[in-house]
Amino acid sequence: MTKILSVNAGSSSLKFKLLDMPAENVIAEGVIERIDTVLDEDDNVTIKVDGEKHKTRKEFKDHEVAINFLLEQLISLGIVESLDEIKGVGHRVVSGGEWFNKSVVVDEDVLKKIHRLAAYAPLHNPANELGIKLFTKMIPGALQVAVFDTAFHQTMPEQNYLYGLPYEYYTKYGARKYGAHGTSHKYVSEQTAKLLGKPLEETKIVTLHIGAGASISAINKGKSVDTSMGFTPIAGLIMATRVGDVDVSLVKYIMEKEGLSGDEMLDILNNKSGLLGISTISSDMRDLEDVQETNHHANLAIEMFVDRIIKYTAQYIVELGGVDAIAFTAGVGENSPETRETVMKAFEFMGLKINDEANHTRGEEIEISTPDSSFKAFIVPTNEELEIARDVMNLMETSK
């Protein structure tokens, strides 16, 4: 048994999963939320082990206190006897720019590059960097590995990742599409190939990672050839609070009318737009579906959200020259039959037929198209933590 810890350090949260590798069994998992923020009445710590959830409410002034608490809990709950049992820690890092096209063992050079890439993912990379430093300090004997959301998309061809800007902005500043959710898209495409019963290298797949953050990828022979997110995760689909694609002239126009600074406008585009901005009531699809029949703004937000999903999916099917399967994943993709149904109905003219009973499954790996469909549709729950642990194990083997 080799115990690998997969970590996702957010700006105010810490998600983790401890796995027994290479058996790929989950030993424990959980989340610490609202780090360095004012607590409400709800529990902000959840640790699940042996099917039992341990919940508590505790204030954490910073990530170091939160990580110390987590490691103490791993011992006090009997999950590990000693932290020395943890042989590797895999860290989700959102942006690896063009420097990283695969997961890497962390050293000082890697840390410096993650730091320099903060401008590409200002909400994520600084927290990811901090998490790496803290776990390195607290579990010094474990192999620390950085797993980049952007790495999987480094196979995109030049015509797909460049913008129609002066080329010098790319050479000077790295102005290009990087995408995100690569770890999820990679895992889901691999699982979809297994469900198809075909080698990954013989497949054409469109993966739909639809959650609070949302992106779609075109995957040919196991390689990403296009994806909807851009230079940062703000572009592409309408999301829970992100605007998605928008005319930059309109952004400038609103800034002038409202007297907004660049940072203030970015905050609106990242945190106050999308489903929340259109509906005016919530960023959560479940809340909007509850009132969709009676609330025009909620219904409009859902219609716009699904419209963009359909358009990107159609674009990528054409770009691939046909498709073997589309795969729905992440919070909405795995748990909203209504969203999946609307998307799939848009492709009925291409011969995609819905299995209504299967489509009402939530969060389980299953085919939701009929056997006589021209191509298949699946629900494939994502498992980024497992993909991270696999990368850590591979690097542990190659670094021996």
- Catalytic residue numbers read 149
d(CA 232, CA 227): 12
Cβ-proximal residues to 184 (8 Å cutoff; 6+ apart), any chain: 207, 209, 329, 330, 382, 384, 387
d(CA 64, CA 48): 21
d(CA 326, CA 208): 7
d(CA 6, CA 91): 6
d(CA 204, CA 324): 5
Q: What is the DSSP string of 325-351?
A: EEEEEHHHHHH-HHHHHHHHHTTGGGT
Q: Which of 207, 179, 176, 178 is nearest to 191 (CA)?
A: 207
Q: Are strands 104-105 and 86-93 parallel, antiparallel or unpaired?
A: unpaired
Residue 54, token pair as written in the block: 């341990």
